[in-house]
Amino acid sequence: MKITKTALIVSVSAAILIVLSCSAIKERLAIKECKSALASVTPYDFGFSDLKLDFDIKVTNPNNVDAVLDKLDYTFFVNQTDVFSGTTGKGIKVAAGKSDNFVTTITLQYTKIGATIVEALRLKQADYKVKAKAYINTVIGEISYPVEIDLK
């Protein structure tokens, strides 16, 4: 049985693609083990109805592989009321065993936060939650999965 040059090139290309895909999957799964902390908040662009805030988030990757998050869209809730939403917009990559910071911007509407504060005072409690959708870019397209974080 004779193997043609084209068949050999296709086989080698497929093998390389499979190896690269496995590596990409490991990097995207590694983000689940990372720890995040709020490094700083910078308010700006004050208006009559809202203001913008840049959240500087520090991500620490304890894994022995790089951690990648292609995109994250999130909404912050207080007592099940949507307070603000945002997105990482672009991908985040944190080297194995290292920490890195990324910035996400939100627009905070005064009416939403005011009503939320009044409700929390009335209830004498505040429950915080982040509902998000994480996105992974693959060779077959973008895949998303839900993320929910209760902040106590």
Residue whose token pair is 């709020």: 38
Q: What is the mean pLDDT of residues 63-86?
A: 90
CATH of residue 98's domain is: 2.60.40
pLDDT for the residue 90: 79
Q: What percent of the chain has pLDDT over 70?
A: 84
Angle at 93 between CA 90 and CA 99, to 5 degrees: 125
- Number of structural domains (the chain) is 1
Which residue in 70, 68, 61, 55 sits closest to 99, CA to CA? Answer: 61
Q: Which residues constitute the domain of residue 120?
A: 5-151
